[in-house]
Amino acid sequence: MKQKIIITLCVAGAFALLTACPAPSNTNTNTNTRTNMNSNANVIMNSNMNMNSNMNSNMTSNSGGNPMVGGSAMLKEKDIIDNASNSKDHTTLVAAVKAAGLVDTLKGAGPFTVFAPTNAAFEKLPKGTVDTLLKPESKATLTKTLTYHVVPGKQDAATIAKAITDGSGKATFKTVAGGTLTASLEGKDVILTDEKGGKSKVTIADVMQLNGVIHVVDTVLMPK
């Protein structure tokens, strides 16, 4: 009898202990879950912020839809001279235009299409050529060379490409100097051939201006 009473008391005591003990806590699990959710939210938010930042950066670097030239934005509300003067890659061209007295012409209403050689393009010329062209006694030659890079009207890339297609692979453009330039395609590149057989590639196309359009080229074009 005593044994039964003792067993009964033990069972009752064990049940009381189990009832009194709280159920296992899920606090750590919930905390970890919340931490992971917050972490994921931060990753998504940071990713979106970076994406927006990159988009804004790209929009700024491509100001007004124009490509950057010489490290500077080319603004559609500015003329050919003002924009070219802001390009660090066209300091030689701008100096030559000033020496030839063509500033007022290229600031005029136009419209003009200018195939603009970079400083590196002028450096391809035989040593001393640029210095000679910039001398006052060479003004006529310099003027003819520079105006050979100018075509009347606004000839954008689409217009040039269409002319090449319509011409079965070649298109001829009359320059302000009176000579002609021949445009063709090599792969996706527009190539200009001058009257001496020299070739120049358009490296940046469709830089829109208030009074026309600039296409940057990598070689100086020479008239006859």
**Mean of the per-residue pLDDT values of the chain:** 79
Same domain, yes or no, for 101 and 211?
A: yes
Same domain, yes or no, for 108 and 122?
A: yes
The CATH number linked to 82 is: 2.30.180.10
Same domain, yes or no, for 161 and 74?
A: yes
Q: How far apart are CA 197 and CA 47, in angstroms?
A: 53
Q: How far apart are CA 145 and CA 135, in angstroms?
A: 14
Q: Cis ω on the peptide bond leading into residue 111 (within 30° of 0)?
A: yes
pLDDT category of residue 87 using cuts at 50, 70 and 90: very high
At residue 114, does pLDDT exceed 80?
Answer: yes
Same domain, yes or no, for 48 and 114?
A: no
Tally of structural domains, the chain: 2
Overall average pLDDT of the 204-214 stretch = 95
The confidence score (pLDDT) of residue 110 equals 87
Handedness of CA 56, 216, 144, 152 (dihedral sign): negative
Q: How far apart are CA 117 and CA 7, in angstroms?
A: 106
Higher pLDDT, 14 or 122: 122
Same domain, yes or no, for 126 and 26?
A: no
Residue pair 164/171 in contact (Cβ under 8 Å)? The answer is yes
Containing domain of residue 96, as a range?
Answer: 67-217
Residue 223, domain member (yes or no): no
Residue 48, domain member (yes or no): yes
At residue 18, does pLDDT exceed 50?
Answer: no
At residue 86, does pLDDT exceed 60?
Answer: yes
The alpha carbon torsion through 200, 205, 207, 211 (nearest 10 deg) reads 70
Same domain, yes or no, for 34 and 138?
A: no
Same domain, yes or no, for 23 and 76?
A: no
The confidence score (pLDDT) of residue 64 equals 57
Higher pLDDT, 65 or 207: 207
Query: How distant, in Å, are the alpha carbons of 15, 30, 90 from that of 175?
Result: 105, 76, 20
Overall average pLDDT of the 192-211 stretch = 96
Of 61, 86, 103, which residue sits at a domain end?
61
Same domain, yes or no, for 129 and 77?
A: yes
Residue pair 220/122 in contact (Cβ under 8 Å)? The answer is yes
Query: DSSP string spanning 116-182?
Result: EE-HHHHHTSPTTHHHHHTSGGGHHHHHHHHHTTEEES---HHHHHHHHHHTTTEEEEE-TTS-EEE
Q: How far apart are CA 89 and CA 59, in angstroms?
A: 22
Same domain, yes or no, for 77 and 57?
A: no
Of 61, 78, 100, which residue sits at a domain end?
61
Torsion angles phi and psi, residue 140, rounded to 5 = -65, -45
Residue pair 144/196 in contact (Cβ under 8 Å)? The answer is no
Whole-prediction pTM value? 0.70
pLDDT category of residue 138 using cuts at 50, 70 and 90: very high
Residue with tokens 């490409």: 161
At residue 187, does pLDDT exceed 80?
Answer: yes
Residue 41, domain member (yes or no): yes
Same domain, yes or no, for 100 and 41?
A: no
Same domain, yes or no, for 84 and 55?
A: no
- In this structure, the strands spanning 170-174 and 180-186 are antiparallel
Same domain, yes or no, for 142 and 203?
A: yes
